[in-house]
Amino acid sequence: MDGAAPRFTTLGCRLNAYETEAMKALVAEAGLENALIVNTCAVTSEAVRKARQEIRRLRRENPEARIVVTGCAAQTEPARFAEMDEVDLVIGNAEKMRPETWTGIAKGPDFIGETERVMVDDIMSVTETAGHLIDGFGTRSRAFVQVQNGCDHRCTFCIIPFGRGNSRSVPAGVLVDQIRRLVGAGYNEVVLTGVDLTSWGADLPATPRLGDLVARILKLVPELPRLRISSIDSIEADEALMRAIAEEERLMPHLHLSLQAGDDMVLKRMKRRHLRDDAIRFCAEARRLRPDMTFGADIIAGFPTETEEMFGNSLRLVEECDLTWLHVFPYSPRPGTPAARMPQVDGAAIRDRAARLRAAGDAQVARHLAAQVGRSHRILMESPRMGRTEQFTEVDFGSDRPEGRIVTATICGCSTTRLQAD
């Protein structure tokens, strides 16, 4: 691998993927060679296990490369990765976004010190998030823009605040300029992303809300065809956001909700800020304002102390909120979190409940797909023969369409996971 360009492995969320793209520019500018950078995830114990497994695989296949480990797992468990023989350097989430980090690494061990294998500072001391300017990623049609990082909440199951730090917002003017640049580069859809998106603005002057940001983007970038919001905490949705849902056709009718459970006692033990009736009311109101609205949701199966009756409330929530796209997480304890010290649910029961939630999600997807047959949709092409509707549903075509273009087509059929267009 002598003289080879650095390679990246990204695990976990869209924000990690976004930051990998920003790191690519920093690493290239630093002139780093012969390196493998692993951007890890810490959302579950399984995510950490997979990160370690991936590092071992990379070392077997690249014995001469330098392996640099970063991301949330590196931030929360730096010693665990530093003790791996396969790892050369461990750097934190703040350090990975600093040009001087990569310049130092590129200069070699003599510059950073032979013994300084861990470069991880206190993430809670970070108070600002820079708007890293990248040209978008994933497809030539959709770009992701980080508007916020970190989280001020302390859900009992979650390790992420200790990987990401407290909530920090990117100023609206920086974001508007970046989105203009992305639209000018040909992107027809922008997705706003962050760790706790609905907390955007709380640390900025005048404490604007997410809805204010959405309205400002749509007003000041009229040439942007489609704006999409990633995961939100529905209890924190502000009036301006609800007004945008009702009035702004360019704001896509698809919201992914951080619900986690549908039982009030479980939600309290999670230290969530909503109850089941709050979730039901939000979904009903959003759909009243925008009848074509579709919802995705995160739901945890087998949270500690969850009884079968409690789980039943989560299972019924899928239909009561009319959720379509489910992300089901079998609970796994994260050391250092309060939930890890609670009475645990049997592993077999967790797997069974996760399977039942996924089956309910599959039924909801099938119902949604069948309802689209015969309807006309505006579809953003992600590849010559696949695109997504405004509700984020995948659509297959029998012949090529221009990648990145928004096309109108009638849905003529569906499979178990996708629509089919004329």
Could you tell me which of 168, 187, 144, 165 has the C-alpha nearest to residue 14?
144
**How far is it, in rounded angstroms, from Cα 245 to Cα 254?**
10
**How far is it, in rounded angstroms, from Cα 346 to Cα 328?**
17
Average pLDDT over residues 93-107: 86
Query: How many helices (H) and strands (E) would you count in the chain?
Result: 14, 18
Query: pTM here?
Result: 0.83
131-144 confidence digits (pLDDT tens): 554 555 556 688 88
Task: Give 182-249 as a DSSP string.
Answer: HHHTT-SEEEEE-SSGGGTTTTSTT---HHHHHHHHHHH-TT--EEEE--B-GGG--HHHHHHHHH-T
Residue pair 40/17 in contact by the 8 Å Cβ criterion: no
Task: Give 66-114 as a DSSP string.
Answer: EEEEEEHHHHH-HHHHHTSTT-SEEE-TTGGG-HHHHHHHHH-HHHH-T
How far are the Cα atoms of 188, 290, 296, 306 from residue 243, in angstroms, in the given order? 23, 10, 20, 36
In this predicted structure, what is the pLDDT of residue 108? 73
**Residue length, the chain?**
422
**How far is it, in rounded angstroms, from Cα 357 to Cα 351?**
10
Could you tell me which of 224, 294, 222, 309 has the C-alpha nearest to residue 264?
309
Res 354 pLDDT > 90: yes
Diameter over CA atoms, the chain: 66
Average pLDDT over residues 353-369: 97
In this predicted structure, what is the pLDDT of residue 421? 96
**Three-class SS of residue 386?**
strand
**Three-class SS of residue 52?**
helix
Res 340 pLDDT > 80: yes
How far are the Cα atoms of 112, 153, 236, 258 from residue 200, in angstroms, in the given order? 36, 13, 10, 16
Query: 378: which strand partners?
Result: 408
Residue pair 287/293 in contact by the 8 Å Cβ criterion: yes
In this predicted structure, what is the pLDDT of residue 115? 45
Res 154 pLDDT > 80: yes
- pLDDT confidence bin for 160, thresholds 50/70/90: confident
| H or E element at residue 164 | helix 160-164
Res 111 pLDDT > 80: no
Q: Encode burial over 89-106: b for 16+ CB neighbours within 10 A, e otherwise.
A: bbbbbbbbbeeebbbbbb
Query: Which residues, including other chains, have CB under 8 Å from residue 95's CB and lie 6 or more apart?
Result: 70, 101, 119, 120, 121
**Three-class SS of residue 403?**
coil
291-338 confidence digits (pLDDT tens): 999 999 999 999 999 999 999 999 999 999 999 999 999 999 988 899
State both tokens at 32. 């780093």
Q: What is the mean pLDDT of the chain?
A: 90
Res 164 pLDDT > 90: no
Res 109 pLDDT > 80: no
Q: In what order do the strands lie in the sheet with 7-10?
A: 7-10, 35-40, 66-71, 89-91, 118-119
Higher pLDDT, 116 or 264: 264
Q: Encode burial over 157-182: b for 16+ CB neighbours within 10 A, e otherwise.
A: bbbbbbbbbbbbbbbbebbbebbeeb
How far are the Cα atoms of 22, 23, 196, 286 from residue 416, in angstroms, in the given order? 36, 37, 32, 26
In this predicted structure, what is the pLDDT of residue 138? 52
In this predicted structure, what is the pLDDT of residue 79? 87
In this predicted structure, what is the pLDDT of residue 114? 45
Res 385 pLDDT > 90: yes
In this predicted structure, what is the pLDDT of residue 118? 84
Q: Inter-axis angle of helices 172-184 and 210-220, to 10 degrees?
A: 40
In this predicted structure, what is the pLDDT of residue 127? 53
